């Protein structure tokens, strides 16, 4: 059998979820005929057949996650390589084996001490040892520990695998947690001067432009391996869009050179494409700074996550009425809370504060 592995999907993608098979075992296919639709964090794409031939085996079913380079389709014919099989006897042991630290679900886990028998029990019961609190001497995981967790997992029911966009979000957030030296500054903008019908999101985009003029260092990309940053002149703002499928970040390009009406049309079109899951992948990449307008849902302040290689994200909370000092007297004004998270590896606290001050000054203008 000749094996066709999942090819490189570009954009650094390492895995994809099977959405739908377009062929079945026993089919005759032609070269370049679509074999399967797979979903990455960017889009749903079709994988074409690399050859004409007879489909002998399909590896995986809908909703399975397949890694790049893993078997996808087996074609009838001479095997390209021999797949070895391990045959033999595994000796038993009562000695504890400690595995080195690993990374699971985006977090570092300490070494796990357990005997081979306990590890085999955990494997048989489907228990991840990183979830088990050891009760044995010197942090040893016992059979009773594994059985206790297995009982709890049975009571809780099966975990819901994260797929598609949510899986990519989990991966990106874990990457950010590992790499970024995050710091957050917060303040309020008095937006009482805004006329009725003001487009808050577009005003926030304009405020980002003002912030970047005062502190260009926040519109930048950081290379952690080279310990180098690239400060950019063109401002491409990623706008976080919350959907039932997960978080998307379409990109408004060159925002400093577009008027408010053009920005609104562009944002409306991208939101519609996101909801319909028809947004082109190129519109979901390449932003230089991010806006999260979470206040449309609720909440006041946050510590938004900076996803590398960008170095800054501005979060906007819910506009509220608040008593403020007006010419030495109390008055009730509309206030917009702001939270700016930045990567402290590339941005100083002074630069971040200058950015936020300039953004606030722009937001407080009536026009």
Residue 225 within any structural domain of the chain: yes
Residue 82 within any structural domain of the chain: no
Q: Do both 194 and 303 map to the same domain? A: yes
Instruction: Say how far apart CA 99 and CA 257 lie, in whole Å.
Output: 55
Residue 89 within any structural domain of the chain: no
Which residue in this structure is represented by tokens 């005929």?
Answer: 33
Instruction: Say how far apart CA 311 and CA 357 lie, in whole Å.
Output: 18
Q: Do both 292 and 170 map to the same domain? A: yes
Query: Using one digit for the tens of pLDDT, what is the confidence trace for 174-190?
Result: 889 999 999 999 999 99
Residue 83 within any structural domain of the chain: no
pLDDT at 72: 94
Query: Using one digit for the tens of pLDDT, what is the confidence trace for 61-77?
Result: 998 888 888 999 999 98
- In this structure, what CATH number is given to the domain that contains residue 215? 3.30.559.10
Query: Using one digit for the tens of pLDDT, what is the confidence trace for 94-148?
Result: 455 554 433 333 333 447 888 888 888 898 888 999 889 888 888 889 989 999 9
Q: Do both 171 and 301 map to the same domain? A: yes
Q: Do both 355 and 334 map to the same domain? A: yes
- CA distances to 23, 25, 26, 34, 204 from 76, in Å: 14, 10, 9, 18, 58
Q: Do both 111 and 199 map to the same domain? A: no
User: Containing domain of residue 71, as a range?
Assistant: 2-75
Q: How many H-runs (helices) and E-runs (strands) does the chain carry?
A: 6, 24
Q: Which residues of the chain have pLDDT under 50?
A: 81-94, 99-110
């Amino acid at each position: 059998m000749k094996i066709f592995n999942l090819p490189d999907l570009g954009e650094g993608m390492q895995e994809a979820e099977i959405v739908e098979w377009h062929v079945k075992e026993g089919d005759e296919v032609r070269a370049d005929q679509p074999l399967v639709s797979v979903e990455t964090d960017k889009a749903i794409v079709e994988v074409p057949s690399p050859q004409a031939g007879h489909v002998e085996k399909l590896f995986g079913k809908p909703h399975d996650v397949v890694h790049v380079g893993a078997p996808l389709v087996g074609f009838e014919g001479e095997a390209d390589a021999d797949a070895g099989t391990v045959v033999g006897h595994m000796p038993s042991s009562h000695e504890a084996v400690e595995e080195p630290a690993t990374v699971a679900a985006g977090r570092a886990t300490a070494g796990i001490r357990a005997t081979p028998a306990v590890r085999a029990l955990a494997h048989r019961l489907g228990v991840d040892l990183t979830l088990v609190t050891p009760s044995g001497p010197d942090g040893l995981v016992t059979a009773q520990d594994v059985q206790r967790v297995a009982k709890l997992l049975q009571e809780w029911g099966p975990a819901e695998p994260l797929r598609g966009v949510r899986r990519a979000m989990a991966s990106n957030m874990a990457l950010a947690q590992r790499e970024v030296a995050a710091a957050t500054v917060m303040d309020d903008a008095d937006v009482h001067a805004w006329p009725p019908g003001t487009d808050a999101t577009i005003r926030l985009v304009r405020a980002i432009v003002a912030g970047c003029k005062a502190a260009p260092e926040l519109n930048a990309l950081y290379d952690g391996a080279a310990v180098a940053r690239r400060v950019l002149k063109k401002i491409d703002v990623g706008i976080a869009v919350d959907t039932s499928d997960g978080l998307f970040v379409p990109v408004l390009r060159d925002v400093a050179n577009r008027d408010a009406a053009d920005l609104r049309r562009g944002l409306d079109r991208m939101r519609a494409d996101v909801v319909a899951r028809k947004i082109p992948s190129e519109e979901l990449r390449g932003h230089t700074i991010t806006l999260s307008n979470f206040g449309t849902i609720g909440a006041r302040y946050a510590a938004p996550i900076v996803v590398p290689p960008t170095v800054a994200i501005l979060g906007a909370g819910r506009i509220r009425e608040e008593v403020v000092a007006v010419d030495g007297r109390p008055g009730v004004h509309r206030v917009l809370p702001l939270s700016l998270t930045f990567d402290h590896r590339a941005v100083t606290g002074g630069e971040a504060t200058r950015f936020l001050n300039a953004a606030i000054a722009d937001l407080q203008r009536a026009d």
